[in-house]
Amino acid sequence: MPPQRATLLQVAQRAGVSRSTASFVLAGRHLDMRISEDARQRVLRAAQELDYRPNLMARSLRTKVTRTIALVSDTLASDQYAGRAIHGSLAAAVAHGHLLFIGESEGDPVIEQKLIADFLDRQVDAFVYASMFTRYVRLPKLLKGHPVVLLNCLTRGSRPAHHQIIPDEVAAGWSAAATLLEAGHRGAIYLVGNPAEHVFAGRERLAGIREGLNASDARLAGTIECDWWPDSAYEGVSRALADGLVPQALICLNDRIALGAYQALREAGLRIPQDVSVISFDDTDMAAWLRPQLTSISLPHYQLGWQAVERLLGPSADPSVQRLPMPVRRRASVAAPGAR
């Protein structure tokens, strides 16, 4: 059997003080309760000798505060890359002296409802409601009246009711355009992917790309339509090249698309970046594995998780949408037009 944990009464008896005095000392209230330094030291020494740890369950029953939060997501926790948002959330929770529970619904509203109900039964203090892909959501009714921060998702409406933390995809698109412009590209810049209106990241990235190019009187020369996967991108770029397309630069909507584009360009005898520059988004591990290494604009997963919990547990502020910067990871896939 595990050893019996020391009680507050045992600490008080060893220190020769009352139970309430020991409680005030261990809660850090010795100054306002005018407890002598000698008594404080005796209590701290007794607690250390007895390896005393407070009964958090009993404390939570008294205070109705459990110092726990729950993160509820669709598939965020199990994703290889987006899981870094979990690490950021965990680190921020620890920094605030909280435990973080994590639940994943796999997009099933029934499972999601059960998860939230179970967390509420455990009296968690607050929630982070997270999404794998940036999108608009409708908060579950069970969360109404509870502190909530949205991670990588938004609610519709002109005035947000909760803090919403998302990546700044529009600024990322602008950065992609600016990176090519700085390298000297002005024409024959093509978008690779399918910026469908219902895909938040694609829509925002395209808007930023156009704004960035327009600011320098440049334009996209066109779009090579494909799904957001390597095989579709390979087929789309190969077909465009076979039809006579002569690009100077490709802006791929994610790194998987860039992988397919790399393969198509090489098969066509085109060199990266000497003949065609390539820039992408997400900065997955793939970007550094490709040769030449791929210039990609990073999704700030860790910072998203950290900021969500920081907004939840930090100083009170009016709800707002916070867009986090997406830094450009400059590598070897971008060069001046016609570089040799």
Query: Residue 218 and residue 189: Cα distance in Å, rounded?
Result: 9
Whether 91 and 110 share a structural domain = yes
The CA R_g of the chain, rounded to the nearest whole Å, is 27
CATH number, domain containing residue 269: 3.40.50.2300
8 A C-beta contact, residue 260 and residue 232: yes
- Alpha-helix residue ranges (DSSP H) falling in 97-168: 109-121
Name the more confident of 317 and 58: 317
Which backbone phi and psi does 322 adopt, to 5 degrees? -110, 120
Tell me which residue has tokens 């209106």.
197
* pLDDT number for residue 61: 44
Query: Residue 334 and residue 340: Cα distance in Å, rounded?
Result: 12
What are the pLDDT digits (tens) for 111-152?
999 999 998 888 899 999 999 889 999 999 999 999 999 999
Domain for residue 253, yes or no?
A: yes
8 A C-beta contact, residue 136 and residue 198: no
* pLDDT number for residue 106: 87
Instruction: Give the distance, in angstroms, between the CA of residue 150 and the centroid of all CA atoms in the same chain.
Output: 11
* pLDDT number for residue 54: 67
Domain for residue 50, yes or no?
A: yes
Read off the tokens for 320. 């707002």
Domain for residue 331, yes or no?
A: no
* pLDDT number for residue 258: 98
Q: Which of 53-62, 77-86, 148-157, 246-255 has the lowest mean pLDDT?
A: 53-62
* pLDDT number for residue 240: 97
Q: Of all residues in the chain, what percent carry a pLDDT higher than 90?
A: 66
Whether 271 and 314 share a structural domain = no
Query: Residue 191 and residue 203: Cα distance in Å, rounded?
Result: 12
Whether 143 and 265 share a structural domain = no
What is the pLDDT averaged over residues 107-111?
91
Whether 292 and 195 share a structural domain = yes
8 A C-beta contact, residue 261 and residue 252: yes
Domain for residue 330, yes or no?
A: no
8 A C-beta contact, residue 324 and residue 167: yes
What are the pLDDT digits (tens) for 9-51?
888 899 998 888 888 887 776 666 778 888 889 988 888 888 8
8 A C-beta contact, residue 129 and residue 107: no
CA atoms within 13 A on the CB side of 44: 12
Domain count for the chain: 3
Tell me which residue has tokens 């090579």.
224
Read off the tokens for 301. 């997963």
Q: Which are the contacts of 157, defined by CB distance < 8 A and separation ≥ 6?
A: none
* pLDDT number for residue 63: 46
Domain encompassing residue 29: 8-54
What are the pLDDT digits (tens) for 234-269?
999 999 999 999 999 999 999 999 999 999 999 999
Whether 135 and 103 share a structural domain = yes
Domain for residue 36, yes or no?
A: yes
Domain for residue 333, yes or no?
A: no
Running DSSP on this structure, what letter comes out for residue 143?
Answer: G
